[in-house]
Chains A and B, each alone.
Chain A
């Protein structure tokens, strides 16, 4: 069948605009409410912070490569791990995932924009301002003894270290305010995503036909409301403590430091799922296309995502086993944490079943997706190990934990983000990324990743605590740390290759055309890049793979949809 889709082409002649001055481009960025531009700005700002936070990680790995090293001072080191963690979670992970969501969701559901375009722009700018505020602390926040002026309380900022007595100066306030503001931005965007998915679907796109990416973003946004709320509340309390003199976390006045831990991790653990769910969402779109098969078990995928959303709200205290929760708490949180691996396992089996019997195309995007499958499995397995309270007592706050969560954040989420870049870059820019460079990027990154994060488990098992500034030579950690650090350098090289690939391909890459992967969802029915109005005419869909139906009128998907009564539109949907 024809792979070329005669979509929107007449209208696109008008959309071609001559090259503009950079000042006009900048003005366009500031004033735009277009979901695609805002999505790209989210992604761009996340990439800038990815480079900054990655550089911070590199500095830390240089410091830890050999024992008794004094490459950076202890104060700077404290600032580095705080800023690295905070930046990667709030100013890389969240914005890049919201950026892809912003860009893709309206296109995938056949809408012309988000439900609230101006709120969308507001959310972006408030998040961007928060990132700026966090890094302004390097200039504006005079820290302890005027030495490190960045926040240095760790990314979870346990009380009472954050009290004014122990953290004088303003660096902790920059941290608090930055998180408060970016939280407002996240809630705004999540609200927008939910309203868009529920209220803006094109005719025929019932919830049962919604592509899995919007479905999972819906769950992720719901989780954002209930997770970011507690973070915002806890930050308000911390600010009151620091500025008005209240006693929420002030142990001298009867306040509880453990309360902060609960409040932070009630946010903190769902946050992990807020970050990983979009990675699942990308996998759900990319793996079927490169396996040339429809996704296996669509309803099971939706159910598993919703299940993960709910269960993730009841696992937070597994971060606090070492506090001493008592037998009841330990048992509950161990079991809840183990149960969450059930829906996650369902997803893994569904992806494997999608691959099974497919004609797999090993593009760079698919290679990253397959790397994701392996690494996410291992990350899940160490997660189950750590969910066992006695095991956690041994290894809590060790490098084993650091290795575990980096396996999730890098091995699963970052791999899927790279995969998404190779997959959707042609749609966003109109040009293909270089596959050759992409494969170099993949292999270098896989080698660097495994060198760093496989081996990082070992010093943890040998008793190396996290966040230490340096260590003695006779501990037996040295060779492991040296290998871990050398892996970090390989990952840096791979990432630079990726950046080079993006810049080169943006100007010189082969023209992509509307549908380079022969895919099935609506975003590929628009030209690349899509015009500002997305769809000249709002499409009408009749199945989960509207472009398949268009390309294969002899065997459309909607022939197989099972419904009670007449085949279509028997019940009112989405109410």
Chain B
């Protein structure tokens, strides 16, 4: 292309555009937020509308410990990203391992809670509207946690093998964005299900 004709002035300034990975992940998060909003709305709409028991206040207990675990995993994944940006790969592996561990504790806590609800209290997704909205909302979030854990474990795997380097830090940052989103959703779910709904 005859470039000179298309130019005017002096292009002495560097043409910089945002990273497509971060923009793409932001878009995905917006779409996911829209999905979660609908499930949250359904949950709030059906609070107290169940025709039969058990009711939330009879069976739900505040998952304080697992919540602390999940929320602090946001800090650890952030630490992993900044370690990688400073090219400290060993530290990055360590923080990633902590993230996977904390996320794992959270998902194990959810599994235990569900086991308890199903076998001790007889609450399933078919029992009543509380069961329907509870399992679908918490389950949707748990699915996102599992996906995040798989991706983080993969990152940990590459990191331990020493294959993740400083130039990959942007990709890890994109993943960490997703993980922050999963944590943020949990704050909403916690407030709606365990505080507002109980």
Given contacts A229-B33, A240-B136, A535-B1, contact A191 B27 (CB under 8 A): yes
A226 is an interface residue with CB less than 8 A from chain B? yes
Beta-carbon contact of B35 and A245 below 8 Å = no
Beta-carbon contact of B1 and A542 below 8 Å = no
Beta-carbon contact of B34 and A229 below 8 Å = yes
Beta-carbon contact of A259 and B126 below 8 Å = no
Quick one: CB contact mask for A71-82 with B, threshold 8 Å, 1 for yes?
Answer: 000000000000
B171: min CB distance to chain A, Å? 13
Among B5, B27, B51, B133, the residue within 8 A (CB) of A190 is B27
A572 is an interface residue with CB less than 8 A from chain B? yes
A237 is an interface residue with CB less than 8 A from chain B? yes
Quick one: CB contact mask for B131-143 with A, threshold 8 Å, 1 for yes?
Answer: 1110110001000
Beta-carbon contact of B7 and A542 below 8 Å = yes
Beta-carbon contact of B3 and A254 below 8 Å = no
Which chain A residues lie closer than 8 Å to B17 at the CB level? 198-201, 574
**Interface range, A side:** 35 or more
Stretch at the interface among A145-153, A465-473, A488-496, A548-556: A548-556
Quick one: CB contact mask for A243-267 with B, threshold 8 Å, 1 for yes?
Answer: 0111110000111100100010010
Beta-carbon contact of B34 and A226 below 8 Å = yes
Beta-carbon contact of A204 and B24 below 8 Å = no
Beta-carbon contact of A539 and B38 below 8 Å = no
A345 is an interface residue with CB less than 8 A from chain B? no
Interface centre among A195, A200, A236, A572 (most CB of B within 10 A): A195
Given contacts A247-B129, A253-B51, contact A230 B38 (CB under 8 A): yes
Closest to A230 in B: B38
Which chain A residues lie closer than 8 Å to B3 at the CB level? 537, 539-540
Which chain A residues lie closer than 8 Å to B8 at the CB level? 542-543, 549, 556, 558, 567-568
Beta-carbon contact of A195 and B27 below 8 Å = yes
- In chain B, residues 1-18, which have Cβ atoms closer than 8 Å to a Cβ of chain A? 1-3, 5-11, 13, 15-18
Beta-carbon contact of A569 and B13 below 8 Å = yes
Which chain B residues lie closer than 8 Å to A566 at the CB level? 9
Given contacts A199-B19, A201-B17, A244-B126, contact A549 B35 (CB under 8 A): no
Beta-carbon contact of B19 and A248 below 8 Å = no
Beta-carbon contact of B16 and A233 below 8 Å = no
Beta-carbon contact of B126 and A546 below 8 Å = no
Given contacts A204-B11, A246-B132, A247-B128, contact A199 B1 (CB under 8 A): no
A228 is an interface residue with CB less than 8 A from chain B? yes
Beta-carbon contact of A572 and B125 below 8 Å = no
Which chain A residues lie closer than 8 Å to B15 at the CB level? 203-204
B51: min CB distance to chain A, Å? 5
- In chain B, residues 106-131, which have Cβ atoms closer than 8 Å to a Cβ of chain A? 125-126, 128-129, 131
Interface centre among A191, A233, A259 (most CB of B within 10 A): A233
Which chain A residues lie closer than 8 Å to B5 at the CB level? 549-550, 553
Closest to A571 in B: B13
Beta-carbon contact of B125 and A234 below 8 Å = no
Beta-carbon contact of A568 and B38 below 8 Å = no
Among A224, A230, A236, the residue within 8 A (CB) of B37 is A230
B20 is an interface residue with CB less than 8 A from chain A? yes
A541 is an interface residue with CB less than 8 A from chain B? yes
Which chain B residues lie closer than 8 Å to A195 at the CB level? 20, 23-24, 27
Which chain A residues lie closer than 8 Å to B46 at the CB level? 254-255
Beta-carbon contact of B129 and A204 below 8 Å = no
Which chain A residues lie closer than 8 Å to B129 at the CB level? 247, 253-255
- In chain B, residues 159-179, which have Cβ atoms closer than 8 Å to a Cβ of chain A? none
Which chain A residues lie closer than 8 Å to B34 at the CB level? 225-230, 233
Closest to B15 in A: A203
Beta-carbon contact of B18 and A574 below 8 Å = yes
The prevalent SS among residues of B at the interface is helix
B31: min CB distance to chain A, Å? 4
**Interface range, B side:** 35 or more
Quick one: CB contact mask for A182-214 with B, threshold 8 Å, 1 for yes?
Answer: 000001001110111011110110000000000
A194: min CB distance to chain B, Å? 5
B30 is an interface residue with CB less than 8 A from chain A? yes
A359: min CB distance to chain B, Å? 25
Which chain B residues lie closer than 8 Å to A21 at the CB level? none
Among A228, A237, A549, the residue within 8 A (CB) of B6 is A549
B28 is an interface residue with CB less than 8 A from chain A? yes
A7 is an interface residue with CB less than 8 A from chain B? yes
* CA gap between A536 and B18 in the complex, in Å: 23
A94 is an interface residue with CB less than 8 A from chain B? no
A6 is an interface residue with CB less than 8 A from chain B? yes
Interface centre among B8, B131, B136 (most CB of A within 10 A): B8
* CA gap between A537 and B7 in the complex, in Å: 13
* CA gap between A232 and B31 in the complex, in Å: 10
Given contacts A198-B23, A542-B6, A567-B9, contact A240 B35 (CB under 8 A): no
Beta-carbon contact of B50 and A199 below 8 Å = no
A350 is an interface residue with CB less than 8 A from chain B? no
Quick one: CB contact mask for B57-101 with A, threshold 8 Å, 1 for yes?
Answer: 000000000000000000000000000000000000000000000
Beta-carbon contact of B27 and A225 below 8 Å = yes
B193: min CB distance to chain A, Å? 16
* CA gap between A235 and B86 in the complex, in Å: 44
B39 is an interface residue with CB less than 8 A from chain A? yes
A575 is an interface residue with CB less than 8 A from chain B? yes
A116 is an interface residue with CB less than 8 A from chain B? yes
Given contacts A200-B17, A226-B30, A567-B9, contact A8 B125 (CB under 8 A): no
* CA gap between A378 and B46 in the complex, in Å: 41
A330 is an interface residue with CB less than 8 A from chain B? no
Which chain A residues lie closer than 8 Å to B18 at the CB level? 198-199, 574-575
* CA gap between A569 and B10 in the complex, in Å: 9
B125: min CB distance to chain A, Å? 5
Which chain B residues lie closer than 8 Å to A245 at the CB level? 125-126
B151 is an interface residue with CB less than 8 A from chain A? no
Which chain A residues lie closer than 8 Å to B37 at the CB level? 229-230
Beta-carbon contact of B30 and A225 below 8 Å = yes
B-side residues, CB < 8 A to A, are 1-3, 5-11, 13, 15-20, 23-24, 27-28, 30-39, 42, 45-46, 49-51, 125-126, 128-129, 131-133, 135-136, 140
What are some 17 contacts across the A-B interface (CB < 8 A)?
A7-B1, A7-B2, A119-B24, A187-B31, A194-B23, A199-B20, A204-B11, A204-B15, A226-B31, A228-B31, A229-B38, A236-B35, A240-B125, A246-B132, A255-B129, A567-B9, A574-B18
Known contacts A253-B128, A525-B1; can you find 10 more A-B pairs with CB under 8 A? A115-B24, A190-B27, A195-B23, A199-B19, A199-B20, A203-B11, A222-B30, A224-B31, A253-B129, A255-B46
A-side residues, CB < 8 A to B, are 6-8, 115-116, 119, 187, 190-192, 194-196, 198-201, 203-204, 221-222, 224-230, 232-234, 236-237, 240, 244-248, 253-256, 259, 263, 266, 525, 535-537, 539-543, 546, 549-550, 553, 556, 558, 566-569, 572, 574-575
The 6 closest A-B pairs by CB, nearest first: A229-B34, A233-B38, A246-B132, A199-B20, A225-B31, A245-B126
